[in-house]
Amino acid sequence: MKILIIEDEPGIISFLKQGLEEEHFEVHTCTNGKDGIELMLRESSDLVLLDWMLPGLPGIEVCKRFREHNSKTPVIFLTARDTVHDTIAGLQSGANDYIKKPFHFEELLERIRVQLRTSLKEPAVLKLADIQIDVNSHMVVRSGNEIYLTQKEYELLEYLLRNKDKVCTRKEIIENIWNIHFDYNTSVIDVFMNSLRKKLGLHKQDDLIHTIRGVGFIARES
Amino acid sequence: MKILIIEDEPGIISFLKQGLEEEHFEVHTCTNGKDGIELMLRESSDLVLLDWMLPGLPGIEVCKRFREHNSKTPVIFLTARDTVHDTIAGLQSGANDYIKKPFHFEELLERIRVQLRTSLKEPAVLKLADIQIDVNSHMVVRSGNEIYLTQKEYELLEYLLRNKDKVCTRKEIIENIWNIHFDYNTSVIDVFMNSLRKKLGLHKQDDLIHTIRGVGFIARES
DNA sequence: CTATTTCTTTAAGCCAATCTTAAGTTGAAA
DNA sequence: TTTCAACTTAAGATTGGCTTAAAGAAATAG
């Protein structure tokens, strides 16, 4: 996730940059309004933090002009100006939020997350070597070919992949996929394990889904 | 535009109600959390103003539970509690903004507009292969020919298209289109699915609307 | 206000996909 | 070699979805 900071005070820039990078955002910066617009339009960031007072072009003008070309990317004002009038003007110019300095970094972070929430979809694809499953569409692909799994087969595979590199005991599997919380002496797992492996084209030497005798199974790449 | 206010102080309610109605919003109110959730789910408001401290169920809990069923409608917290920790907790519970009392009505109004602005800029035309629907006029066209759908048929199709490439579970469909939040053992979906497919001229081999047995349905192009 | 049409919901039967059981076979570990 | 867990297969049971018909609501027309 790419965040663009347009702000002229070096102290605030480095404070923000450091904090956001620790949260694994990719941070770009700019210290004046004119270049700011350029970057906003060119860099296709996922979110913009915009200072109110900027050399040259005021922040509110930057925001307005940006919105003429891009109405989607969230913009958050960071500002020392704290009058109702300014807040309103800021929001009317097309910003999505308006945060007053001094602010707590944690709150800023959370407000950033709120804005990104809509565009931030949870990781939808799970991988195991050349097997990929999309948890939204339930589509399973192995090396380019779609594989049709039944409900239970799919659930079993998803469960194993969500717990990649971790042994899934028979008990855990039965509890989580079959919702049986007692009387585990059934061999359904084996039956589904069998058809799953068949459909995926796995063989003993393919060490993608291992059997741990006496315990359960594990999905692991070589 | 319909706004739901969940708040227990009569003074604030009437203040908000009056102000918002002057701005031509349709305002509904509720004074406790339990009924609040009911209304949020049933009334399909465009935005919810939620108090932090509510008799019975705390606001944050109301928000969380609401988000389990509806991830779209904006929620704004109105609260006298002003610690960073609370703000963060509120936003994390799924709210879109968090405004501290006392607030200026003008600012609240503008923040409401910000929320409605973003939810309004959805695409007006949804497509699935050669099927196109216009969400404003409800017109449905397949390869040039207009297809007349009834209300429920249309809603079903729109829902599937809005969630293109994502499995829509029967539960989600029943909750979002029929507003039934319990007792899911009905086969209305099947009946409407049937007539929808007929009218669209879809057949088993047309893989545009797939059945995912035991889960639901998915709209997906080839 | 009543009749008629259209839309929505309920209900039931059918069929096929899927799940489960069970029994025989294999193979790893002691 | 023996034992027992895991694998394989196939038959039988079950469920879930499709379809149709008809009853119940709602909208429209007369």
pLDDT at res. B87: 96
pLDDT tens digits for range B137-157: 999 999 999 999 999 999 999
Q: Do B218 and A138 touch (CB under 8 A)?
A: yes
Inform me whether the pLDDT recorded for A181 exceeds 90: no
What is the identity of the amino acid at B178? W
pLDDT in tens, B37-55: 989 988 889 999 999 999 9
Transcribe B73-88 into DSSP letters: S-EEEEES---HHHHH
Q: Which residues of A touch B165 (CB under 8 A)?
A: 136-137
Q: Is the CB of A169 under 7 A from strand D?
A: no
Local confidence band at A122 (pLDDT 50, 70, 90 cut-offs): low
* Closest CA in chain B for residue A74: B118
Judge whether B48 and B16 are in contact, CB under 8 Å: no
CA of A130, closest CA in chain B: separation in Å? 21
Whether nucleic acid strand C comes within 7 Å of the CB of B102, the answer is no
Would you state the pLDDT for residue B214?
Answer: 95
**What stretch of H or E contains A29?**
strand A26-30
**Interface contact flag, B91 A97, Cβ < 8 Å:** no
CA-based nearest residue in chain B for residue A105: B84
Say which residue, A184 or B102, is predicted with more confidence. B102
pLDDT-derived band at B33 (thresholds 50, 70, 90) equals: very high
**pLDDT tens digits, residue range B169-211?**
999 999 999 998 887 889 999 999 999 999 999 987 678 999 9
pLDDT in the model for residue B69? 86
B113: Cα within 13 Å, side-chain hemisphere: 18
Average pLDDT over residues A136-147: 95
* Average of per-residue pLDDT across A102-119: 94
The confidence score (pLDDT) of residue B99 equals 96
Residues of chain B with pLDDT > 70, as a percent, come to: 100
**pLDDT computed for residue A121 by the predictor:** 64
Q: Which two tokens stand for residue A136?
A: 């939204």
Of A71, A72, A104, the CB nearest to B84: A104
DSSP string, chain B: -EEEEE-S-HHHHHHHHHHHHHTT-EEEEESSHHHHHHHHHHH--SEEEEESS-SSS-HHHHHHHHHHH-SSS-EEEEES---HHHHHHHHHTT-SEEEESS--HHHHHHHHHHHHHHHH---SEEEETTEEEETTTTEEEETTEEE---HHHHHHHHHHHHTTTSPEEHHHHHHHHS---S-----HHHHHHHHHHHHHT--TTS-SEEEETTTEEEE---
Instruction: Find the nucleotide nearest B194 (Cα to C1′).
Output: D18
What pLDDT score was predicted for residue A123? 66
CB contact under 8 A, A110 and B91: yes
| Contact list, A92 vs chain B (CB under 8 Å) | 110, 113
In this prediction, residue B210 carries a pLDDT of: 96
With CB atoms and an 8 Å threshold, state whether A138 touches B107.
Answer: no
pLDDT exceeds cutoff 80 at A134: yes
More confident residue, A54 or B120: A54
Round the average pLDDT of chain B to a whole number and report it: 94
**pLDDT greater than 80 at residue A120:** no
| CA–CA distance, B76 with A193 (Å, rounded to integer) | 47
Interface with A, mutate which of B60, B104, B160, B207 (most A CBs under 10 A):
B104
Residue where the block lists tokens 């969940």: B6
Residue B165 contacts A, CB cutoff 8 Å = yes
Cross-chain residue pair A84–B107, CB shorter than 8 Å? yes
Q: How much is the average pLDDT of A162-174?
A: 96
DSSP helix/strand/coil, A100 = strand
pLDDT confidence tier of residue A96, bands split at 50, 70 and 90: very high
Residue B128 has pLDDT above 80, yes or no: yes
Please check the confidence at residue A205 and state whether its pLDDT lies above 80.
Answer: no
Distance from CA of B194 to the nearest CA of A (A): 21
Interatomic CA distance for residues B180 and B176, integer angstroms: 8
Measured distance CA(B209)–CA(B54) in Å, rounded? 43
Nearest CA in chain B to A150: B213
Q: Is the pLDDT of residue A29 over 80?
A: yes
Question: CB A150 to CB B213 under 8 A?
Answer: yes
pTM for the complete prediction?
0.84
pLDDT confidence band for A185 (50 / 70 / 90): confident
Whether nucleic acid strand C comes within 7 Å of the CB of A186, the answer is yes
* A75, A31 contact by CB (below 8 A): no
Residue B111, classified by CB atoms within 10 Å of its CB into exposed (0-12), middle (13-18) or buried (19+), is buried
For residue B91, which residues of chain A lie inside 8 Å, CB to CB?
A: 110-111, 113-114
Q: Mean per-residue pLDDT for B93-105?
A: 96
Comparing A28-32, A111-115, B185-189, which segment has the lowest mean pLDDT? B185-189
Residue A110 has pLDDT above 70, yes or no: yes
The Cα-based distances of A162 to A62, A132, A192, B163, B169 in angstroms read: 44, 12, 18, 23, 20
pLDDT at residue A82 is higher than 90: no
Q: Residue A132: enclosing H or E segment and its boundaries?
A: strand A131-134
